[in-house]
């Protein structure tokens, strides 16, 4: 733990003043966005009023037990998907890579869908209680990790093509599975399944957020250890290996940490697309491509965008609520087309 913190602090030696100012600016914007999102809803609640003791007991409960965990989960999921996307784009040296590429998101989605439709018939609810849906999604993502590890012989040499093929197969299989479950589900199950697959932060509690946040925090620290190695990898695997980078260990670290943070994020929020794809590109446009800057910038940018998307999902059609995945897709798909267009010009 201490060595991870030391490595993270040393990484700032490789960030120039402009990049550091961007990170500090993003940090300020993050806290402003966080406070605004907590305050705005069906009725306005001020954080300053809470600390001054001017809120009623009902309003305090809404602030602490409904809005605050929801907004913090949005920030956590946005940061997780963005960090995973930045790492996977660096690993594959492909600007179009995202967390769904290796199939972890689809595996988590299939696990959750099985629980929504067949959960009561397979697993007694008293075994896991409110944790049954996140547990099932994490089991689904863990199964994909095991498949990746087996088919690539421990993420060894020449494993990248097999990793992509396994990801394609898992995505296809999960799509078929979710389609079958959608067909056999009841009306209430279909509603829950549809809303979950489009992404939502509603109904989350501190009991779910705190263990997830702690796990993701350690995965973050683990990922920051390899930021300089990702920079060296951009020179090519042979060049990185000659400079002392253990390629097999680097792949293992990135795949496992990405799978953990994506699996946990998907288990709590459902399927949310485009964030892991577009946010690293935005961070690169702001300040550069070196990963000592790119990883923290992606985390902050992803958190800001996801908080904003969740805010829009809550206020656009009050008192109803839009799935947050629709908001991110509406933002991300035009950016994705612009990215492809620019790549063609080059």
- Summarised one tens digit per residue, pLDDT across range 110-137 is 888 888 888 756 666 556 566 777 778 7
- Summarised one tens digit per residue, pLDDT across range 174-183 is 889 888 888 8
> What integer pLDDT is reported at residue 142 of this predicted model?
80
Q: Where are the alpha helices (DSSP H) in 185-274?
A: 187-197, 206-224, 227-233, 237-242, 247-269
6-15, 102-111, 167-176, 335-344: the lowest-pLDDT one: 6-15
Q: What is the mean pLDDT of residues 276-282?
A: 88
> What integer pLDDT is reported at residue 23 of this predicted model?
92
Domains in the chain, please, with CATH? Answer: 67-345 (1.10.3470.10)
3-state SS class at 40:
coil
> What integer pLDDT is reported at residue 165 of this predicted model?
79
> What integer pLDDT is reported at residue 130 of this predicted model?
66
DSSP conformation class of 321: -
Q: What is the mean pLDDT of residues 142-169?
A: 73
pLDDT range class, residue 155, cuts 50, 70, 90: low
CA distance 93 to 87: 10
- Summarised one tens digit per residue, pLDDT across range 16-49 is 888 889 999 999 999 999 988 888 877 777 777 6
- Summarised one tens digit per residue, pLDDT across range 227-236 is 888 888 888 8
Q: Nearest 5°: phi and psi at 260?
A: -65, -50
CA distance 144 to 288: 33
> What integer pLDDT is reported at residue 5 of this predicted model?
43
Per DSSP, the chain holds a count of helices (H) and strands (E) of 17, 0
| Contact predicate 38/47, CB 8 Å | yes
Chain centroid, CA 183 distance in Å? 28
- Is 157 a residue whose pLDDT tops 70? no
pLDDT range class, residue 343, cuts 50, 70, 90: low
Burial class (CB in 10 A: 0-12, 13-18, 19+), 44: exposed
CA distance 270 to 232: 34
- Summarised one tens digit per residue, pLDDT across range 18-27 is 888 999 999 9
| Contact predicate 193/113, CB 8 Å | yes
Q: What's the pTM?
A: 0.85
**Stretch (H or E) spanning 6:** helix 2-11
- Summarised one tens digit per residue, pLDDT across range 196-225 is 778 888 878 888 888 888 888 888 888 888
| Contact predicate 112/139, CB 8 Å | no
pLDDT range class, residue 62, cuts 50, 70, 90: confident
């Amino acid at each position: 733990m201490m060595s991870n913190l030391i490595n993270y602090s040393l990484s700032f030696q490789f960030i120039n003043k402009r990049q550091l100012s961007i990170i500090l600016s993003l940090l300020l914007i993050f806290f402003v966005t966080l406070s605004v999102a907590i305050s705005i809803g069906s009725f306005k609640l001020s954080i300053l009023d809470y600390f001054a003791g001017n809120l009623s007991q009902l309003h305090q409960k809404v602030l602490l037990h409904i809005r605050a965990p929801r907004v913090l989960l949005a920030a956590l999921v946005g940061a997780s998907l963005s960090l995973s996307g930045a790492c996977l784009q660096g690993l594959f040296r492909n600007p179009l890579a995202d967390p769904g590429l290796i199939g972890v998101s689809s595996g988590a989605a299939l696990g959750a869908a099985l629980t929504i439709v067949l959960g009561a018939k397979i697993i007694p609810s008293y075994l896991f209680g409110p944790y049954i849906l996140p547990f099932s999604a994490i089991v689904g993502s863990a199964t994909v990790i095991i498949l990746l590890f087996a088919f690539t012989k421990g993420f060894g040499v020449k494993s990248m093509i097999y990793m992509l093929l396994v990801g394609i197969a898992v995505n296809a299989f999960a799509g078929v599975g979710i389609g079958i479950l959608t067909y056999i589900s009841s009306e209430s199950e279909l509603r829950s399944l549809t809303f979950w697959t489009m992404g939502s932060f509603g109904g989350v509690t501190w009991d779910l957020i705190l263990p997830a946040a702690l796990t993701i925090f350690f995965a973050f620290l683990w990922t920051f250890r390899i930021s300089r190695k990702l920079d060296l990898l951009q020179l090519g695997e042979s060049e990185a290996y000659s400079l002392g980078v253990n390629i097999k260990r680097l792949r293992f670290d990135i795949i496992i940490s990405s799978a953990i943070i994506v699996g946990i994020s998907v288990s709590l929020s459902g399927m949310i697309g485009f964030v892991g794809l577009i946010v690293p590109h935005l961070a690169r446009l702001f300040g550069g491509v070196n990963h000592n800057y790119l990883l923290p910038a992606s985390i902050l940018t992803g958190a800001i965008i996801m908080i904003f998307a969740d805010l829009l999902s809550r206020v656009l059609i009050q008192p109803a609520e839009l799935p947050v995945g629709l908001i991110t897709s509406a933002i991300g798909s035009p950016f994705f087309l612009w990215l492809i267009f620019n790549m063609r010009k080059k």
